Amino acid sequence: MLDLSGSCGDGYVSKGRGFMRVLFVCLGNICRSPSAEGVFRAMAPEVATDSAGTAGWHVGKPPYGPMQAAALARDIDLSDLRARQFVAADYERFDLILGMDAENITNIETVRPVGNKTEVRLFTDYAAHSGMSEVPDPYYTRDFDGALDLIEACARGLKAALDAA
Ligand code: 4NP
pLDDT digits (tens, 9 = 90+) for 68-113: 999 999 999 999 999 999 999 999 999 999 999 999 999 999 999 9
142 lines ligand 1 (CB under 6 A): no
pLDDT at position 34, please? 99
Residue 128 neighbours by CB under 8 Å, 6+ apart: 157
Separation between Cα atoms, residue 73 and residue 131, nearest integer Å: 26
Per DSSP, the three-state class of 157 is helix
pLDDT at position 18, please? 47
pLDDT at position 12, please? 52
Per-residue model confidence as pLDDT tens digits over 11-51: 454 444 447 999 999 999 999 999 999 999 999 999 999 99
Examine the residue annotation and report whether 32 is marked as an active-site residue of this protein: yes
Q: Which helix (H) or strand (E) holds 52?
A: strand 48-53
Using the mean position of ligand 1's atoms as its centre, give its distance from the Cα of residue 29 in Å: 7
Separation between Cα atoms, residue 139 and residue 67, nearest integer Å: 8
Is 82 within the bounds of a domain? yes
Is 12 within the bounds of a domain? no
Is 116 within the bounds of a domain? yes
pLDDT at position 64, please? 99
| Count of structural domains, the chain | 1
User: What integer is the mean pLDDT of 145-155?
Assistant: 98
CATH of the domain at 31: 3.40.50.2300
Q: Are 46 and 116 in contact (CB under 8 A)?
A: no
Separation between Cα atoms, residue 30 and residue 53, nearest integer Å: 8
Best of 26, 27, 81, 142 for a ligand 1 pocket test (most atoms within 8 Å of beta carbon): 27
pLDDT at position 165, please? 84
Using the mean position of ligand 1's atoms as its centre, give its distance from the Cα of residue 147 in Å: 13
**Per annotation, catalytic residue among 26, 41, 50, 95:** 26
- List the domain range (segments joined by +) for residue 151: 25-164
pLDDT band at 3 (very low <50, low <70, confident <90, very high): very low
Separation between Cα atoms, residue 66 and residue 78, nearest integer Å: 11
pTM for this model (two decimals): 0.91
Per DSSP, the three-state class of 119 is strand
Residue 77 neighbours by CB under 8 Å, 6+ apart: 38, 71
**Per annotation, catalytic residue among 41, 95, 137, 154:** 137
Is 3 within the bounds of a domain? no
Is 136 within the bounds of a domain? yes
